[in-house]
Each structure stands twice: as C-alpha cells, then as structure tokens.
Amino acid sequence: MRSPVPSIALVMIVRNEARCLARCLDSVRAHVDDMLVLDTGSTDGTTDIARRCGARVARFPWVDDFSAARNAALAQVDAPWRLVLDADEWIASGAEAIADLRSRPPEFLGLVRVDSQVSDERDQLQQAPSWLPRVLPRGVAYSGRIHEQPASTLPRQRLGLVVGHDGYLPAQMGPKGGRNRSLLLTALTEHPGDRYLSYQLGKDCEVHGDFAQALPHYEAAWGDDAATASWRHDLLLRLLFTLKKLGRYEAALELADRERPTWQHSPDYFFTLGDLLLDAALARPAKAAEWLPLIERAWLRAIEIGERPDLPDSLRGRGSYLAAHNLSAFHASLGQAAQAAAWRERARSWREAAAGSSIG
C-alpha cells in the first residue's frame, strides 16, 4: 500500500505582531496544509489578523521560555513536516522547496536561508543571510530559554527556500531589547560558561550600541572549544567591530592577524579588516603610510573572493558593491579621481545587479 503524502504545517508563536503577521501568513498560505498561530499574550489585533488570514489560533501563557512556547505550538499540529517562521519573516522565494517535501520522508532537518535586513555603520540598509533549521520533522522539539534550537541528531540539509526578515531593524529591535537581555542573563545563570549564550548576550548589547558591555561577553564567547561553531564567523566580525568602536585598534589588529589563515575565503573578514585599518590609520597618523596599502589590499581581496551567501552571517555586498564603494572613497581621498570614478561605477553596477536579483 502506498503511504500517504506527507503534509506540511506552518507553526508560529506570536505576541503583538499586528504590524507584520498578515505579510507572513499571506506568503505561506498557498504552500502549506495547515497554519497554527500560538499567541502568548497579544493586546493588539494579532489574533484577529491570524484568523482572517486562515490560521488556527491557540493560546499559551508566556513563561519566559521560548522553547516552552515553540514546543506547545508544535504539539498543536499533526503534520509530518513543520515549517517554523516568526511573524517578522516571510517567504521571499523558493517556495517550490516546500512542495518538494511532500515526496520526501521526514528524516532530516531542513535549513532555509533567512535574509535579514540590517542597518550598517552608515545607517544603510543591507542584507545578511543565515542558514537556520526551520523545517522540522514531527517529534523534534526545541531546547533553550532564548535563541532556542531544535534538539535533534538528525542530519541537516539545505533547502532552496529563502525567507525575508526585518526584525533586526532598529524600529523593531527597540521594544525587544530589555526582554531579550533579561532572558539571556537568566539563561547564563542557569548555564554558566555557555559560549553561545555569551555570544548572543554580546550581540544584544552591541546592536543597542552598548559596546563596552558587549566586549566582555564576546570575549567570554571566544575560545578554542568554539572554533568550529557555526556562529564563529559572526562572532569574529562583531568582536573586531566592537574593539574598533572602543578604540582598541592594536588588540583588534592582533586578533585579525591571528585569524587571517582561517578566513581566507571570507569577504566579510577582509572587508572588516579594511574598515578596521582605515579607522586605525585615522587614529594613529604616524602609522598611516604603513597601513594605507593594506587598506586597499583588504578591500581588493574581498572583491576577489566575491559574494559568499553560503557563509554563515555573510553580509551581502561586502564581496562586491560595498567594498567597491569603499575603494571609490579611498581613491577620492588620495586625489585619484579616475580610479575613484571607476570604482564608483562598479559599485553602482553591482548594487543594481544585486537589487535585481532580490526582486520577488
């Protein structure tokens, strides 16, 4: 007898998401068989929006534990496959990967590319992709009070699904800052020495501009036993940026030099190194003549590597138009107008190409 075709359910936890919930549900509805929205205490129109968009609504009292809420939501669906999204996310492309699941046994965790919109140091909107386990087989549950992860030894496979995310923009981050930091501190009390939690706590401080508070948490996250962690690349970049913002250029350059052999394939490493050297040269004029060629070389190397969306937390543009923009400004500052114009044109062309590839 032929086994039944596996079905797919969207599973969400929400609270006061009237701003964006309809966008998420509208992007998913045609691709799943069930949509479950578990509300943890909304006081706006979130639950009404969910019902209007065709979702089932369940309720769960918030207990300061994201895994408890996620697992309560997962328990409300019977589908063999569960697509887990947050309200500030939406399907951007690759929805056919969801349909493909119907012919595949639920024996792995599916990694999807989540393209997060972020503001860079110049308040320019950029895109940072991450590969996250968001397609779960029935029976897989979450662990972790915050920044929860599926607890499973099943293999992980990358899928073609691309999810957009705007929850890291300043307007959305503000209301969550105090809650997340409190939960992270509680989690670290429960699991002292957890490097991943220290990394996340440092990131929470950094994105709110608290660089002095971020640094000790990043330093606590750093260590040889975390050398193969998927978040190591992002931790290095954030640690270098934080040291730079605190004016600790020598410590940052020493760390960058130690890590250079590991990140020869990372445009983000060389882009960040160029920015670091530039700020260091401005702060240490006596070293400027020595560092100027290294600045240009770092950004040229980023472009030589090119874009690496497969690399965890690689910011789009650092291997193309962002590095070209920096090279244009660099040559302009040296009075090299022709070279500055050439890099400015490359930056424009690459940015337009990137914008075109993001449509839809």
For the chain, list the domains and their CATH numbers.
Answer: 8-170 (3.90.550.10)
Q: Is 282 exposed, middle or buried (0-12, 13-18, 19+ CB in 10 A)?
A: exposed
Indicate whether 43 pLDDT > 60: yes
Q: Is 299 exposed, middle or buried (0-12, 13-18, 19+ CB in 10 A)?
A: buried
Q: How many residues in total does the chain contain?
A: 360
Q: Are 71 and 58 in contact (CB under 8 A)?
A: no
Q: Are 340 and 73 in contact (CB under 8 A)?
A: no
Distance CA 226, CA 179 (A): 26
- Asked which of 52-56, 77-81, 142-146, 351-355 is least confident by mean pLDDT, the reply is 351-355
- From residue 156, alpha-carbon distances to 112, 225, 259, 349, 353 in Å are 10, 22, 28, 36, 31
Q: Are 118 and 129 in contact (CB under 8 A)?
A: no
* pLDDT tens digits, one per residue of 266-311: 999 999 999 999 999 999 999 999 999 999 999 999 999 999 988 8
147 torsion bin: left (phi>0), alpha (psi -120 to 50), beta (else): left
The pLDDT mean for the chain works out to 93
pLDDT for 359 equals 46
Is the pLDDT higher at 321 or at 178? 321
Indicate whether 261 pLDDT > 80: yes
Closest CA to 353 of 322, 325, 323, 321: 321
191 torsion bin: left (phi>0), alpha (psi -120 to 50), beta (else): beta
Q: What is the mean pLDDT of residues 333-348?
A: 96
Amino acid identity, residue 234?
Answer: D
Q: pTM for the full model?
A: 0.87
pLDDT for 174 equals 63
Strands (E), the chain: 8-14, 34-39, 56-59, 81-84, 89-93, 109-119, 125-137, 141-143, 149-151, 156-165
